[in-house]
DNA sequence: GAATGTTTCCATCAGTTGCTGGAGAGAAAT
DNA sequence: ATTTCTCTCCAGCAACTGATGGAAACATTC
């Protein structure tokens, strides 16, 4: 039951945000009384926090999966796979993107103890993209780049119902368009960067690991 | 008075969203009774719509200004100026970015009559960036690119209070970092694109207007 | 200065919100 | 069989929500 409530809460919070969601909406979605909800999860803010923690965990898992899937591939291909996979995944679970974007302007924040997970998420994927050598210690500019990439995807997912009528296209056209746009925007800068790092490194020591030998199509 | 209410409503709606804002919060911000608010603006949804219309107008004005400012400059410089100017502007008026992002998942939508302004905004700036030849008729992929650019900026502005502690930097470091990241991400793809279009056009007719002769640093 | 129109506030409404006490229903342990 | 424990619901609370009617204050016109 506790799990069923969490699952419903994910959907509703993801769709209406914290303030737009009432505990009665969630209870009704599950088909239970609100008292049962309070019995399992305590106050609304606690349930919300559990939801956010849950989606962060999902995101972390998916990113690890991607990280493994791209190992050994050249950078351009790595980014293609990562972007495609994450885009597809988030389109299947739009509440993840919604909840993450909702958090950006949430006044409901009491400096949640789960924010420490975000740098970790960024670190892993940045490492996997050959942006940094050290998984633990990321320079600010590398983190910014990761944030930008994630935000761009999230915006397209969260904004889909807003953008589709605006562009006058349906979902089947929208998704590939998003993928294409993401690849268009995000791959060239990182290839450039990898090229620069490679050249720089080659002048010092061996050029390993990063940007495994490939140039732009 | 009507104007003062609108101004306050912009701030509060931009900070707490539609559901997170109460009419009493706005009235208190102005220092008036809620009846006065209802007298001038009618129901809450109407005021909200007026606010959204207002920020779209501001955005349109600023984009026109940018469009004029970059005329005649080479593409890379054009994008630099546009990104810097818009970033600075939106950081000064974060409620604009907030309200736009809020709209992405707004269930409060009754197919507002102001959405027609968005393609117009995109058209102007895309034309100014040499992405399209015809201001009125934009292909879907060009619109997607514009949306991506705008969304990336908005995310950084709206997420500033979330990201700054995350990156462990203060506002004075954050703003230039955002600018740098935006330029890193967004300029190379468009330079590549302009290069391709230029080459293609040169093979057919004269290569004018687009990508006025410059290559990457 | 009387009449008219505009703007402001006070008091109040009905409905909704987050949340709780207490009474059962059902199973498990004694 | 009784006690104990976990779970679920009903009923209801106080606070807050969006919204309104009507009385004053104020300004404008005649």
Domains and CATH numbers, chain B: 1-42 (1.10.10.60), 53-202 (1.10.357)
**pLDDT for res B217:** 38
Distance of CA B159 to the CA centre of its chain: 14
- How far apart CA B211 and CA B194 sit, in angstroms, is 5
Q: Which residues in A lie closer than 8 A to residue B83 (C-beta atoms)?
A: none
- How far apart CA A59 and CA A104 sit, in angstroms, is 17
**pLDDT for res A214:** 42
- DSSP class of residue B116? T
* Contact between residue B191 and residue B84 where contact means Cβ atoms under 8 Å apart: no
Question: For C8, which residue's CA is nearest its C1'?
Answer: B36
Structure tokens at A48: 């919300």
**pLDDT for res B115:** 62
Report in angstroms the alpha-carbon separations of A1 from A7, A33, A144.
10, 12, 39
Report in angstroms the alpha-carbon separations of A50 from A36, A39, A105.
16, 15, 18
Strands (E), chain B: none
The 10 Å Cβ neighbour count of residue A189 is: 20
| Residue numbers in chain B where pLDDT is lower than 50 | 109-110, 206-217
Asked whether the beta carbons of residue B163 and residue A154 sit closer than 8 angstroms, the reply is: no
**pLDDT for res B51:** 94
Best CA proximity match to A87, nearest among A4, A159, A150, A137 = A150
* Contact between residue A183 and residue A216 where contact means Cβ atoms under 8 Å apart: no
Strand D–CB A35 distance below 7 A: yes
The strand D neighbours among B residues 35-74, by Cβ under 7 Å, are: 35, 38, 42-45
Question: pLDDT per residue over B81-90, tens digit each?
Answer: 999 999 999 9
Task: Give the total residue count for chain B.
Answer: 217
Sorted by sequence, the CB contacts under 8 Å of residue A118 that are 6+ apart come out as A56, B166
Closest CB to A151: pick one of B103, B140, B152: B152
Q: What is the per-residue burial (b if ≥16 Cβ within 10 Å, else e) of B28-46?
A: eebebeeeebeeebeebee
Burial class (CB in 10 A: 0-12, 13-18, 19+), B187: buried
Asked whether the beta carbons of residue A162 and residue B104 sit closer than 8 angstroms, the reply is: yes
Q: Which residues in A lie closer than 8 A to residue B97 (C-beta atoms)?
A: none
Asked whether the beta carbons of residue B181 and residue A148 sit closer than 8 angstroms, the reply is: yes
Task: Please list the pLDDT of chain A residue by residue as tens digits (217 residues).
Answer: 889 999 999 999 999 999 999 999 999 999 999 999 999 998 999 999 999 999 998 988 898 888 888 888 888 888 899 999 999 999 999 999 999 998 887 765 445 556 666 777 777 777 777 777 777 778 888 889 888 999 999 999 999 998 888 888 999 999 999 999 999 988 888 777 666 666 665 555 544 444 443 444 3
Strand D–CB A42 distance below 7 A: no
**pLDDT for res B95:** 95
Q: What angle (nearest 5°) sits at the alpha carbon of residue B50, between those of residues B46 and B51?
A: 115
Q: What angle (nearest 5°) sits at the alpha carbon of residue B105, between those of residues A83 and B39?
A: 155
Asked whether the beta carbons of residue A185 and residue B182 sit closer than 8 angstroms, the reply is: no
């Amino acid at each position: 039951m506790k799990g069923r409530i969490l699952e419903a809460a994910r959907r509703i919070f993801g769709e209406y945000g914290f303030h737009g969601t009432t505990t009665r909406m969630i209870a009704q979605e599950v088909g239970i009384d609100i008292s049962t909800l309070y019995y399992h999860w305590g106050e609304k803010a606690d349930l919300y926090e559990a939801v956010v923690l849950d989606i962060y965990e999902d995101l972390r898992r998916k990113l690890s999966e991607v990280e493994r899937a791209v190992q050994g591939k050249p950078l351009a291909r790595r980014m293609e796979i990562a972007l495609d996979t994450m885009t597809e995944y988030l389109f299947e679970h739009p509440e993840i993107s919604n909840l993450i974007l909702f958090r950006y302007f949430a006044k409901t924040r009491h400096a949640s103890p789960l924010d420490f997970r975000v740098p970790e998420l960024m670190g892993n994927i940045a490492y996997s993209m050959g942006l940094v050598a050290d998984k633990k210690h990321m320079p600010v500019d590398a983190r910014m780049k990761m944030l930008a990439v994630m935000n761009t995807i999230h915006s397209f997912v969260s904004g889909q119902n807003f953008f589709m009528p605006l562009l006058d296209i349906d979902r089947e056209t929208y998704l590939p368009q998003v993928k294409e746009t993401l690849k268009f925007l995000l791959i060239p800068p990182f290839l450039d960067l990898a090229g620069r790092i490679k050249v720089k490194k080659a002048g010092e020591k061996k050029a390993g690991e990063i940007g495994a030998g490939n140039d732009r199509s």
